[in-house]
């Protein structure tokens, strides 16, 4: 399958088609789904700390023997109650645990920790600097939250994951050349 890609402002490409993080009842059903997707040619997978199944998805990908550079992994991180140091340590430990040396895109799952959000973004920027992620983004930020972040960051978010709401378009996002990113 020849997948269409979307160019990001940092020079990386985002595959247009991907499989979202999910919660299935068993290891076998999770790994079978990933294997089926790989057999269909899908190469973009979203992992989420919140769903606690990253290891199962990565294990299924590794069993496929498809080279890592042909797989695009989006990693959504859960930032609740973590300062920058704790967040960095948590992500480094989890990436080691699930046997990933890097991810292609790291996204803050939601703006739930308002007190630490700028420190957390700096932590994500640091993880980009040390090459644990190639691109960085956010999820479910509103216009004001995104404006505040862009004013106070070294690296602009390359994507924003949104909920699709028909009568509430997120037109402000085009101002920043940020890819609007959503899974169904």
* Overall average pLDDT of the 86-105 stretch: 95
* Overall average pLDDT of the 66-86 stretch: 90
Output b/e per residue, 143-170; b: 16+ Cβ within 10 A. eeebeebeeeeeeebbbbbbeeeeeeeb
Output b/e per residue, 57-92; b: 16+ Cβ within 10 A. bbbbbeeeeeeeeebbbbbbbbbeebebeebbebbe
Higher-confidence residue of 175 and 114: namely 114
The beta strand positions in the chain, using DSSP E, are 5-7, 13-15, 44-48, 72-77, 103-108, 133-139, 159-161, 179-181
**Lookup: tokens for 153:** 């960051």
Domain ranges of the chain: 5-181
Give the span between the Cα atoms of 130 and 124, in whole angstroms: 10
Q: Is the pLDDT reported for residue 89 higher than 90?
A: yes
Task: Work out the mean pLDDT of the chain and round it to a whole number.
Answer: 85
* Overall average pLDDT of the 171-183 stretch: 53
The reported pTM is: 0.87
The answer as to CATH 3.20.20.100 being correct for domain 5-181 is yes
Q: Is the pLDDT reported for residue 83 higher than 90?
A: no
Going by pLDDT thresholds of 50, 70 and 90, the confidence category of residue 8 is very high
Nearest to 165 by CA among 144, 176, 180, 148: 180
User: What was the pLDDT predicted at 82?
Assistant: 81
Strand partners, 46: 74
Element containing residue 53 per DSSP (H, E): none
Contact call for residues 42 and 19 (beta carbons, < 8 A) = yes
């Amino acid at each position: 399958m020849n997948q269409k890609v979307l160019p990001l402002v940092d020079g990386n490409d985002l595959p247009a088609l991907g499989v979202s993080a999910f919660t299935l009842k068993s290891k076998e059903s999770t790994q079978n789904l990933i294997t089926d997707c790989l057999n269909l040619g899908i190469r973009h997978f979203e992992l989420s700390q919140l769903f606690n199944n990253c290891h199962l998805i990565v294990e299924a990908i590794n069993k496929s023997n498809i080279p890592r550079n042909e797989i695009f992994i989006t990693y959504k991180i859960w930032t609740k109650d973590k300062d920058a140091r704790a967040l960095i340590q948590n992500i480094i430990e989890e990436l080691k645990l699930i046997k990933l040396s890097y991810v292609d895109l790291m996204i803050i799952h939601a703006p739930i920790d308002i007190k630490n959000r700028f420190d957390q973004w700096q932590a994500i920027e640091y993880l980009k600097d040390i090459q644990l992620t190639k691109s960085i983004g956010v999820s479910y930020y509103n216009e004001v939250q995104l404006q505040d972040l862009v004013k106070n960051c070294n690296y602009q978010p390359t994507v924003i994951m949104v909920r699709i709401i028909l009568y509430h378009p997120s037109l402000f996002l085009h101002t920043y050349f940020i890819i609007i990113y959503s899974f169904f």
